């Protein structure tokens, strides 16, 4: 196969009908392989979509949500809790006069 590919790359051999036939077969084979790869990716995406739709229809909404969404939600809840705690902690210090940053 590699030898025929070399015949296809050199201009003086491209006029040979044998080299053109091999080149056409090689291109058709590459096209078939690339289309098979695209079909496999599309099939995997369709399977994922069908799995998520099935989970939504059956009531398992938690299974249809991607895992990264849970991670972002957990980080947001932790951040909100931390900011809330800090806010009320500083509010208490300001109300009692323990804060040294501001004059009484």
pLDDT tens-place string over residues 85-100? 999 998 888 888 777 6
What DSSP element (H or E) covers 97?
none
Note the pLDDT of residue 86.
Answer: 93
Note the pLDDT of residue 70.
Answer: 92
Note the pLDDT of residue 1.
Answer: 47
Note the pLDDT of residue 16.
Answer: 52
d(CA 63, CA 57) in angstroms, rounded, equals 11
Note the pLDDT of residue 29.
Answer: 79
> What average pLDDT is seen over the chain?
78
The total of other beta-carbon atoms located within 10 Å of residue 19's CB is 19
HSE (side-chain half, CA atoms, 13 Å) at 88: 5
Note the pLDDT of residue 15.
Answer: 54
Q: Please say whether the beta carbons of 12 and 21 come within 8 A.
A: no
Ranges under pLDDT 50 in the chain: 1-2
């Amino acid at each position: 196969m590699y030898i025929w590919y070399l015949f296809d790359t050199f201009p003086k051999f491209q006029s040979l009908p044998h080299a053109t036939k091999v080149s056409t077969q090689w291109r058709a084979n590459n096209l078939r392989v690339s289309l098979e790869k695209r079909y496999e990716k599309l099939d995997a995406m369709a399977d994922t979509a069908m799995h998520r739709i099935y989970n939504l229809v059956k009531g398992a909404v938690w299974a249809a949500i991607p895992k990264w969404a849970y991670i972002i939600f957990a980080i947001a809840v932790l951040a909100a809790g931390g900011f809330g705690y800090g806010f009320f902690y500083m509010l208490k210090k300001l109300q009692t006069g323990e804060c040294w940053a501001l004059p009484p």
